[in-house]
Structure 1
């Protein structure tokens, strides 16, 4: 379905505006040039100086001991789960959080850890009372509650520090390990207006994706203690994530950290404008809460979904399908692109 729409959009002379996700971003010309100049070596031997520099840079930024470059956030989260837990232990996580819902059950299938899902609240965060109730007593009938995994952002929502800290208080009370899936971490701190360390100082490990809002073509960095990262590095090798001369893609991550964090506010601003304009159409429900970052969700009438996608596709605008459609702004959508998107929706409903 998506391939057909992309092909349709490609027939236009206009550049394609892809609303499906911020994972679709293209490396900028400046990023590509920086990648071409990267020094490389064999990372499995620890010889790739660019990868080493990226890992150190992220660890320093988050005030943690070490970092590990991995091909994806899915592998980063999985390596963290396997580093922190043993078979038969339990991971407390949100039901709609990425680790539970969208990572193919890897922590259970490959790590042998049991995920216990909780419902997230309207703000994207978990309720401390639900975490407290989920923690198991020391009884052979139950798995051992070992780890609390939180997510920020969740569905584009930046979860407040107060909510996060209340959850972490429960984890600390019961001696749980604490992991943050911060795939869109920098969107979160941009929205919250806090320093990186403000959000992560209480976590034992943090996953950060480079290929979403930061605009790198691939990769994620896991940060934590030296002990955690040493264990995760072994799991990365077992999972097939050991890389050789991968400094060229790590260089994209370094470039992104240096140049693409401050511009995330532009994505947030454009998402807010788009939400306001689409809400004014009053033709469908628009979900955009006060703590949204670069995402909004629309629910067109079922009869309109495919015709609307077709209409936008003819104007080189790629929109996902489904009953609740996510729209993500990112660095490939500038102000002119935003105007095209708004005009595309208005022309369909006029």
Structure 2
């Protein structure tokens, strides 16, 4: 089956494209040299997120990977260690940057089904103050994780552990606003437990590029220095920061629509024979291909005009975002049904 209709891209919410209104905001942006700290639009974005999320300062960077890396480099020194989930983005999908560039040792732990790291397991992983061991300095969490929202009582328990054991606490908040929408809470209520947080603007929020790292004045000053070392200093970056400001103003609340469409897609999977619903959380639907094979599934969906990301297991992640409307969801359901016939 072939189609001339627009392609529906469910590989990730990173594929969103700037709207005409966002492009207009970018074109109108007042700019300066951000390496000198002189770009007014970048400064406005940093200050806005710092105030809204309850931090002293912020730093605009090109990517979430760099934002997390700068946090690790600012929190830790050579020979230090951070505790992290075995399937967390900062450990598994960021090229080993902390170890490669910072000589910071990761201590990965198996995550619970909700993405949390059991507090007792974290405590047991903290190394003694002994020269035989790396110095445990930091606990890194992720919210959302595979679409799952970390429970609020868990965040409080993690903060209490870090306070008791002298650790800092960092949040990879790539989809922080999805978590906030799902919980019905302001993002500030989630991040108040953390010493630093990375907020991605280029996923469901729909900006074309950029993340903001938030923390204390001292931590952000250190991160700014590392940003330069890592090649992340940008000049007239206000053109990009304007997209982030527009996204915060106009796109954050609409994340609820992505969640609703994901739930609708998940419900439609009931009774299908070749694919089976594994889970649905926030804007993500996970399915298992139980017949026809993943290569056949991908080819079928591509022919139907639906782009999916197929890995090395039968499980496939479908990600809803602002560029997939109700018609796109119905076309996806139709393609899934025809694969099961």
> 1:321 and 2:310 equivalent?
yes
Cα distance in 1, alignment partners of residues 292 and 3 from structure 2: 25
Alignment match of 1:310 (pick from 299, 302, 319): 299
Cα distance in 2, alignment partners of residues 285 and 346 from structure 1: 11
Alignment match of 1:61 (pick from 52, 68, 71): 52
Q: What are structure 2's unaligned runs of at least 5 residues?
A: none
Residues 305 and 48 of structure 1: is their aligned pair in 2 closer, same or farther, counting only changes over 3 Å?
A: same
Task: Note the C-alpha offset of 1:302.
Answer: 6.2
- Residue by residue over 1:92-149, the C-alpha shift from the partner in whole angstroms, topping out at 9 and shown as x without a partner, is 1111000000001001110111100011101111100001101111111111110011
> 1:147 and 2:123 equivalent?
no
Residue correspondence of structure 1 range 33-72 to structure 2 within 5 A: 33-72=24-63
> Structure 2-normalised TM-score?
0.97
Task: Note the C-alpha offset of 1:338.
Answer: 0.5
- Tell me the secondary structure at the aligned position of residue 328 of structure 2: helix
Cα distance in 2, alignment partners of residues 302 and 24 from structure 1: 28
Task: Note the C-alpha offset of 1:280.
Answer: 3.0
> 1:74 and 2:65 equivalent?
yes
Q: What are structure 1's unaligned runs of at least 5 residues?
A: 1-8
Residue correspondence of structure 1 range 122-137 to structure 2 within 5 A: 122-137=113-128
- Residue by residue over 1:238-273, the C-alpha shift from the partner in whole angstroms, topping out at 9 and shown as x without a partner, is 000000011111110000000111000000011111
> 1:121 and 2:112 equivalent?
yes
Task: Note the C-alpha offset of 1:325.
Answer: 0.9
Q: Tell me if the contact between 1:160 and 1:192 (Cα under 8 Å) persists in the aligned partners.
A: no
Q: Tell me if the contact between 1:41 and 1:244 (Cα under 8 Å) persists in the aligned partners.
A: yes
Let me know the Cα RMSD of the aligned residues. Answer: 1.3
Look up the match of 2:158.
167
Task: Note the C-alpha offset of 1:12.
Answer: 4.2
> 1:301 and 2:290 equivalent?
yes
> 1:176 and 2:174 equivalent?
no
Cα distance in 2, alignment partners of residues 316 and 160 from structure 1: 37
Number of aligned residue pairs: give it.
Answer: 339
Alignment match of 2:237 (pick from 243, 246, 254): 246
Q: Tell me if the contact between 2:275 and 2:291 (Cα under 8 Å) persists in the aligned partners.
A: no
Task: Note the C-alpha offset of 1:63.
Answer: 1.1
Look up the match of 1:102.
93
Cα distance in 1, alignment partners of residues 315 and 8 from structure 2: 19
Task: Note the C-alpha offset of 1:296.
Answer: 1.5
